[in-house]
Structure 1
């Protein structure tokens, strides 16, 4: 599969007996890249991540991880294969310390040396995690809590991290800080598949953009080119940017 690390190919998926939400959806996530999915409400963005994380079995299509078949794997198997999910909203345990939250990400890891190595790694990638290591997670700001969630997801050394609306509920300053940390994850060697309602900010961060509509990719390409397309801006990105 060349540089493609994570592939969803011609996926059809939905809920119960209802019509499919994804109707021939395909995306390739290359190594060392941030791929963002944007589009209107109801386009199927969150359903993509549920399929990718093994939470929803596709009706048809294929999932490949580094060229290996992963179609139909459940969430634990997907995590073991290197696919980690960071949920929408805040999922830290507020009455636990930052350290305790982060260590939970390594609950499947038995090698203490490996755990220590990953702790050192996430502290380097996310300085706020190191700075607030002994603090209660509930005392951190929303943007800082999101960084704790990112650090927790990296404890298993995943190949790709799935991010569902990481800026939800954050003010503009915190949103900027969170997207800076998404770039740090990418630069540290983890590919990212990102779903984000803040389409412009996501495309400014991403390497590749995909616009979803009616359950399939309407257009994809370098994120910078999608941002520069005035017609695309009017249709999907909330009009022209303010200058």
Structure 2
């Protein structure tokens, strides 16, 4: 495996309980400082890919490789310590806690307070809302601001790769644009990002690599700009070409 590949899923077959497979021989690579966007119809298996990658769902076969190490079967806490953070779908802030408490909770695995202080300073510099609302109760923040707190909580452990599941869900266009700006800031800070996003066209405009899933398999993958320019893929998976 190439040294710049941070996360790799190899020939993954996965499903829930005794039900039929959701992922069927799926393979995906995410390289350092790269945004890979998963798109496809409902039921294609996009969120299942993230659950397998983060250790929430053990694959029936195949490998999950993180920073060159086979981590198949390891749980979310082990993968977090190995450099992988997962921001779940919807809002997962603890609304009764302050922004500070939410961020510190994300750093529970950091070795000491000096490292915590250093990482807090970094997170506040990347996500200004975190600094501005530091002492406020998280539940008082807007949806977009809460999502930035979630991003900050994921970034405090200095991950190599962050998984994002529908980060713009429930947000208006202005706040959605802000969220994509923050994803780009993650990339600029050296983090690889694997994202599932309902606004597929907008996400591909921001991503480096697009990966189209259909029926649990990779239907097409390549530079995101090429996928956007392909009229067949646009009609099938992106809701048609945008009007002039």
Partner of 1:158: 159
Summarize deviations over 1:159-179 as a string: whole Å, max 9, x none: 100000001000111100001
Tell me which moved more, 75-84 or 169-178.
75-84
Q: Is residue 88 from structure 1 mapped to residue 89 from structure 2 by the alignment?
A: yes
Matches within 5 A, 1:125-204: 125-204=126-205
Q: SS state of the match for residue 84, structure 1? A: strand
Return structure 1 stretches of 4+ with deviation > 3 angstroms: none
Partner of 1:67: 68
For the 8 Å contact 1:36–1:194, the answer to whether it is kept is yes
Q: SS state of the match for residue 21, structure 2? A: coil
1:228 to partner: Cα distance? 1.0
Q: Is residue 239 from structure 1 mapped to residue 240 from structure 2 by the alignment?
A: yes
How many Å separate the matches in 2 of 1:66 and 1:108? 19
Matches within 5 A, 1:17-56: 17-56=18-57
Which sections of structure 2, spanning at least 5 residues, go unmatched? Answer: none
TM-score, L = length of structure 1 = 0.98
Q: SS state of the match for residue 227, structure 1? A: helix
| Count of matched residue positions in the alignment of Structure 1 and Structure 2 | 243
Summarize deviations over 1:115-136 as a string: whole Å, max 9, x none: 0111011111111111111111
TM-score, L = length of structure 2 = 0.98
Partner of 2:6: 5
For the 8 Å contact 1:11–1:61, the answer to whether it is kept is yes
Matches within 5 A, 1:219-234: 219-234=220-235
How many Å separate the matches in 1 of 2:86 and 2:54? 6
How many Å separate the matches in 2 of 1:15 and 1:27? 20
